[in-house]
């Protein structure tokens, strides 16, 4: 099937994440027909995935449907499908919607396909150490975390029980720090009185990073503060330690301390690296553009591909001036692309370079504690947390989502509860662990019968 569109200028946007959605919204008054293509039907607020994984938020809270967000924007058509090919000469993209193929033509193309987890050449680690990039990932991690406490409860022998109660987070960037902090809080606070055979507060939460310091993008003083806060919450932090192996029962490292060489741990979460989405490679091959080490497409200062002024690459997929892979870069570069298209349609074809305005960065440690840089301000502790709360509420899409998130935060942060602890039989011990028969656990519990919900 081929979509040729109308006689108006056709803008195709690939990806409905931070970049894609910003571009689409910025084109709302332009005299163009926009098609936004995404392989999923929702816009995912990735910075709160870790809260979904730890039972605070539901998938609906952080992933509203693209069609719903854009229902009032009459010049937009939403299409579900994965872009698998770009023909830069014929100006069309190939789309695969669960096996159904189509071709979509464009006059301007904005590629905003984001990034994926990188295991630095060890993709086999993904089997036992899922990453944190999608709803599927977060639900799997949720299943593994809550499932691990269930398994510990029915495991009589000490060593295997301790392995179920050990959680290793690999990567001490913002995502790893937030994840480790939440697992610690969950075990020490939210699961209190929930179990009879185990004390969830005895869980060991380990945060590892190959680099010598945590929270690389933050000023050193704030990173040190975060490490101190996490340690006080019971997180064990080991920096300068590389993971050399991951399997169902634990991880291997290159640590000099013998006790860290092998850490028996049933639950491992990979928060260590990202690489560009595969579309980067496809677009580069179609245009002759270069890519950087992470597979991001090298662009001109105005975010277009050299020789193809009608193709823009924005956000995590773009390689420009070593800009970081953060939401603000994606949104600002996407708006720049949309503004350039608008200007060209008005007859102004002058090139204007994209200039990024750094608005700051933040990470939560636990309830009421965060570190944040906002302009010249350096915030930590409760003021940092308030800044974090405000910014995240503002950036969430849609009033209904903000209201739902606020209620869930009240339950989790002011109360003790974790309102979103439903795990299904597919997730409870996660894809691969289902096949394992852990020592000390009764067979009855290695094959859960059906989905179940744990009230908080
Ligand atoms: C766990 C986590 C926490 C984070 N925390 C923060 C934070 O606190 N602050 C911050 O600023 N940034 C944070 N980030 C980074 C931020 O989310 C990204 O920089 C941002 O999402 C990039 O926007 P994007 O539009 O380039 O890509 P994305 O938002 O990832 O969107 C890409 C979209 O493209 C779609 N797609 C991909 N390939 C195709 C294809 N071939 N065909 C069709 N669709 C496709 C995907 O489904 C997705 O919807 C975090 C990221 C993660 C994973």
| DSSP result, 214-265 | S-TTS-HHHHHHHHHHHHHTTEEEEES--EEEEETTEEEE--SSHHHHEEE-
The strand order across the sheet containing 250-253 reads 243-247, 250-253, 262-264
Q: Is the pLDDT of residue 440 over 90?
A: no
**Interval 373-395: pLDDT, tens:** 988 889 999 999 999 998 898 88
pLDDT at 430: 54
What is the helix (H) or strand (E) element at residue 178, kind and residue range? helix 174-185
Q: From ligand 1's centre to the CA of 362, what distance in Å?
A: 17
CATH code of the region 2-39+81-117+275-345 = 3.50.50.60
Closest Cα to atom 17 of ligand 1: 46
Q: Is the pLDDT of residue 367 over 80?
A: yes
Percent of the chain with pLDDT over 90: 78
pLDDT at 394: 86
pLDDT at 429: 57
C-alpha–C-alpha distance, residues 141 and 268, integer Å? 9
Across the range 5-32, mean pLDDT stands at 94
Q: Is the pLDDT of residue 452 over 90?
A: no
pLDDT at 6: 60
Does residue 299's CB lie within 6 angstroms of at least one atom of ligand 1? Answer: no
Q: From ligand 1's centre to the CA of 442, what distance in Å?
A: 40
Which candidate in 178, 220, 249, 351 is catalytic?
Answer: 178
pLDDT at 264: 98
Q: Which CATH entry fits the domain spanning 123-270+360-414: 1.10.8.50, 3.40.50.300, 3.30.465.10, 3.50.50.100?
A: 3.50.50.100
Q: Where are the domains of the chain?
A: 2-39+81-117+275-345, 123-270+360-414, 425-454
In the predicted model, what is the mean pLDDT of the chain? 90
Please give the structure tokens belonging to residue 23: 């571009």
pLDDT at 366: 85
Q: pTM for this one?
A: 0.91
Across the range 177-196, mean pLDDT stands at 94
What is the helix (H) or strand (E) element at residue 83, kind and residue range? strand 82-87
Buried/exposed 165-196: b ≥16 CB within 10 Å, e otherwise: bbbbbbbbbbbbbbbbbbbbbbbbbbbeebee
Q: Is 178 marked active-site?
A: yes
pLDDT at 437: 44
DSSP helix/strand/coil, 281:
helix
Does residue 174's CB lie within 6 angstroms of at least one atom of ligand 1? Answer: yes
Under the banding of pLDDT at 50, 70 and 90, the label for residue 412 is confident
């Amino acid at each position: 099937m081929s979509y040729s569109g109308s006689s108006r200028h056709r803008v195709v946007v690939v990806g409905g994440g931070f970049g894609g959605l910003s571009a689409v919204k910025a084109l709302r008054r332009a005299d163009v027909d926009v098609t936004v293509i995404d392989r999923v039907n929702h816009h995912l607020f990735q910075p709160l995935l870790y809260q979904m994984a730890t039972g605070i938020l539901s998938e609906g809270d952080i992933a509203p449907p693209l069609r719903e967000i854009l229902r009032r924007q009459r010049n937009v058509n939403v299409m579900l499908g994965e872009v698998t090919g770009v023909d830069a000469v014929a100006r069309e993209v190939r789309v695969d919607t669960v096996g159904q193929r189509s071709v979509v033509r464009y006059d301007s193309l904005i590629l905003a396909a984001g990034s994926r987890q990188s295991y630095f050449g060890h993709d086999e680690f993904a089997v036992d150490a899922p990453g944190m990039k999608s709803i599927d990932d977060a639900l799997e991690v949720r299943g593994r975390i809550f499932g691990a406490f269930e398994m510990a409860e029915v495991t009589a022998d000490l060593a295997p029980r301790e392995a179920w109660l050990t959680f290793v987070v690999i990567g001490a960037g913002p995502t790893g720090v937030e994840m480790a902090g939440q697992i610690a809080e969950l075990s020490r606070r939210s699961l209190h009185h929930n179990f009879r055979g185990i004390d969830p507060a005895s869980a060991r939460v380990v945060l590892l990073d190959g680099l010598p310091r945590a929270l690389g993008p933050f000023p050193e003083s704030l990173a040190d503060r975060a490490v101190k806060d996490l340690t006080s919450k019971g997180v064990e932090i080991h920096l300068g330690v590389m993971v050399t192996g991951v399997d169902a029962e634990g991880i291997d490292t290159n640590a000099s301390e013998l006790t860290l060489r092998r850490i028996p741990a049933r639950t491992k979460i990979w928060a260590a690296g990202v690489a560009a989405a595969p579309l980067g490679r496809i677009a580069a091959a179609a245009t002759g553009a270069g890519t950087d080490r992470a597979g991001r497409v090298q662009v001109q200062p105005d975010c277009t591909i050299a020789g193809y002024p009608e193709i823009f690459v924005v956000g995590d997929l773009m390689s420009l001036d070593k800009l970081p892979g953060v939401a603000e870069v994606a949104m600002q570069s996407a708006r720049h692309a949309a503004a350039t298209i608008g200007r060209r349609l008005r007859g102004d074809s002058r090139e204007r370079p994209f200039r990024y305005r750094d608005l700051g960065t933040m990470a939560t440690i636990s309830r009421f504690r965060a570190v944040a840089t906002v302009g010249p301000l350096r915030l930590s502790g409760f003021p940092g947390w308030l800044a974090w709360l405000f910014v995240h509420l503002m950036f969430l899409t849609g009033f209904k989502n903000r209201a739902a998130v606020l209620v869930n935060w009240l339950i989790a942060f002011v109360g003790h509860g974790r309102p979103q602890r439903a795990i299904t039989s597919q997730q409870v011990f996660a894809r691969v662990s289902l096949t394992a028969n852990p020592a000390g656990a009764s067979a009855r519990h290695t094959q859960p019968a059906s989905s179940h919900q744990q009230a908080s």
